[in-house]
Amino acid sequence: MKLAGLLLLVAGWGIVMSAVALLPSLMGRAGFALAGVAVELLGLALFVNSHLVLSAGKG
């Protein structure tokens, strides 16, 4: 899960950067930027959750 979270963080960042570079309209950029941020938040949640589960197992 930790690897999936890290990959989603990178994928979300890539979506946002691609949208800014490739889309001409402001609405298209905003939509893809919001989707990228949502993917990044999902990746962050997975990464933190897997880190907390691993930490709870040690104690």
- pLDDT over 90 for what percent of the chain? 12
Rounded mean pLDDT of the chain? 85
- Per-residue model confidence (pLDDT) at position 59: 57
Return the structure tokens found at 38. 């949502």
Compute the average pLDDT of residues 4-31. Answer: 87
Q: What is the pLDDT of residues 35-54, one digit of tens each?
A: 888 988 998 898 888 878 76
- Per-residue model confidence (pLDDT) at position 27: 92
**Cβ 11 vs Cβ 39: under 8 Å:** yes
26: DSSP letter: H
Per the structure, the complete domain to which residue 45 belongs is given by 2-58
